[in-house]
Amino acid sequence: MSENKGTIKVLQHESNVLKSNPLGDPHTRELYVYLPPGYDMGDKNYPVAYCLTGFTGRGKMMLNDSAFSPNMAERLDKLIESGTMKPMIVVMPDCFTRYGGSQYLNSSATGNYEDYLTKEIVPFIDENFRTIDSRESRAITGKSSGGYGAMIMAMRHAELFGLATTIAGDCYFELCYKPDFRKALKAINGDPLKLVEKFYDEESKKGKFAFDGLNTIGMASCYSPNPASEWGFDIPFDLGTGEIREDVWQEWLKNDPVYLLEESAENLKTLRLFFIDAGTSDEFALDLGARVLVDRLKKHDIPHVHEEFDGGHFNINFRYKRTFELISENILDEST
């Protein structure tokens, strides 16, 4: 192993929290951990960054080989070698569900992934690696739904995470979700679970708007779970007419970072870094959602860094360079 390259550890983590989850998803998950160059040659303790994937993602997908851009491990190696980033441990968990993702929330429809991350994965990493077990040395970041998860962790679990960054994180649901409901309606065609089944059948014709339908189902399973419902969750519009179901929509909004900020302001004020990033051509208007969130942050005098870049929602992993640069400038390590 080159001195300039980190090491990837692949661990099998058996979760008690995810046992008997309602979807029957595996409770033993692969956990990918990046150890920085030099980790095995000393006894130094390192700060930790938790990196959350977007919808339909899981940790190991961050390490996929690509012809034209580095995977996460290669990117981290380059950032550390160039001095852009401090050496740190980077953790890539698997919070995938049968419906595509957990939004890193507890839900009666999918399982308790918020607890899985905060009550199991964080302690597990601290017990098994040389970490600096302190919120000031623990960051959380992510892109898209992973960025949403990072915001949720900052708002609800600032006692664990002292730094949070989001790249195009789901925010201001009126703009990022509602416009696609008309397409989701056509794809779901009256039966959410039948559409989900199509994604597990390679030969099935899924239809033009299938992903819009799956995304709505995935979000509904996290934002509006309902054990009394036929599917275990409520769709926020009438499946026949498309009319918005206001009571269900209000359940969604309770999970919107724009509105969660009201009750989380004091937590956010304790952060060493809160970085909000989005592309100016984001296909889900998450640049506008970020602006709405930032406007609320300013009204509550919450320190933050807000940036926009030339780009959309996809193929924007290059923004992790800026993300880890800011994390490195603000995170505490043993030499700070």
pLDDT at 1: 44
Reference 104, options 90, 92, 119, 114; nearest CA is 114
Reference 274, options 149, 114, 118, 166; nearest CA is 166
CA 302 to the chain's CA centroid: 22
Report d(CA 250, CA 257) in Å as an integer: 13
- Is 152:114 a contact under the CB 8 Å cutoff? yes
The two structure tokens encoding residue 250: 């209000």
Helix, strand or coil for residue 63? helix
The two structure tokens encoding residue 9: 């550890």
pLDDT in tens, 29-44: 999 999 999 999 989 9
pLDDT at 335: 65
For residue 4, CA distances in Å to 36, 46, 67, 87, 121 come to: 9, 17, 21, 11, 27
pTM for the predicted model, two decimal places: 0.97
pLDDT at 291: 98
Residues of the chain with pLDDT under 50: 1
The H or E element containing residue 33 is strand 28-35
Q: What are phi and psi of 143, to 5 degrees?
A: -120, 140
Burial 125-140 (b: 16+ CB within 10 A, else e): beeebebbeebbbbbb
pLDDT at 4: 84
Report d(CA 271, CA 161) in Å as an integer: 8
Residue at token pair 């839900």:
107
Domains of the chain with CATH codes = 7-171+258-330 (3.40.50.1820), 175-253 (no CATH)
